[in-house]
Amino acid sequence: MKNKNIFIPILIVLFCYACGSQVKTVNPDKNSLKNYKSFAFLPNANLNTNPEQQDVSKVVVETVNANMERAGYTLDSENPDLLVLISSKKLVEPTAQQNPELQKDYAAYPYTDGVGRVNPAYGNYYYGGYGNFGRITGYDTDSYEYEAGAVIIDLVDRKTKETVWKGTTKKNLVDQADLEAQEEMVNLVFSELPAFQKDSE
C-alpha cells in the first residue's frame, strides 16, 4: 500500500510537467502589465496559412480576444495600450516574399506597400493604425525553437513598440483540425498571463 501512495505524487508531477511543456511564455524584463487597460490586434496574414481553414484563424483570434477581455483589458481599435500580434512559425519569412497573391488580399506583418484588406478572421478587433506601425523591437529574434505550425502571441506596447509578454504553443496549432483543441491550447497559453497567475494565488 505504501508503494502505491509513493507513485501518486510522482504521477501528478509528471502530468503537470506534460501539460506545462505544451506552451512557453516570456515576460521580457519582468514587464508589469498592470498599467495597460486596452488592446487591439495587429492583423497578420501568416496567421492563416491555409485559405481553406478560415475557422483556424477565427477560433484563435476569438479565443485570444476572450482571454484578453477576461484578463480585464478593453478592446479599443483606435487608441489601444497593447497590441496583440499572432503569428505562426510556418511562415518565417515576410508573406510578401513567399506568396505575392496573399499579400494583395490580406495584411501581413511586417507591413509593406500594397496591403489590401485585413484577414476577415479579425472582424473589428484590429488596430486602425496598423499600416503605419512599423517594426516591433525584437520581433522574430527568439532564441528558442518551435515546432512547425506553432502559434506565437505577442503583446506589444503600442507606444514603445516593444514586446512586453509573449506566449507560444510548442506544438503545431495551425494544422490542428480539432477546433476545441485549438481553443484549449490558446487558453493554456493565457493561463500563464500574469493577470491569471495572480488570480490563482
Domain presence at residue 55: yes
Domain presence at residue 10: no
Q: Is 101 exposed, middle or buried (0-12, 13-18, 19+ CB in 10 A)?
A: exposed
Domain presence at residue 11: no
> Is the Cα dihedral 77, 103, 170, 139 positive or negative?
negative
pLDDT of residue 199: 44
Which residues form the domain of 189? 24-200
Q: E strands along the chain, which residues?
A: 23-26, 38-42, 74-75, 82-88, 151-157, 163-169
Quote the number of domains for the chain.
1
pLDDT of residue 151: 86
pLDDT of residue 19: 47
Backbone φ, ψ for residue 197 (5° rounding): -65, -40
Half-sphere exposure of 139 (CA within 13 A, CB side): 22
- Whether 187 has a pLDDT exceeding 90, the answer reads yes
Q: How many CB atoms lie within 10 A of CB 178?
A: 9
Domain presence at residue 5: no
Determine the length of the chain: 201
Q: What is the pLDDT of residues 111-145, one digit of tens each?
A: 866 666 888 889 899 999 998 888 887 666 565 56
Q: Per the structure block, which three cell numbers stand in for 133? A: 506601425
Domain presence at residue 4: no
Domain presence at residue 139: yes
Domain presence at residue 8: no
CATH number, domain of 46, equals: 3.30.160
Domain presence at residue 3: no
pTM (two decimals) = 0.78
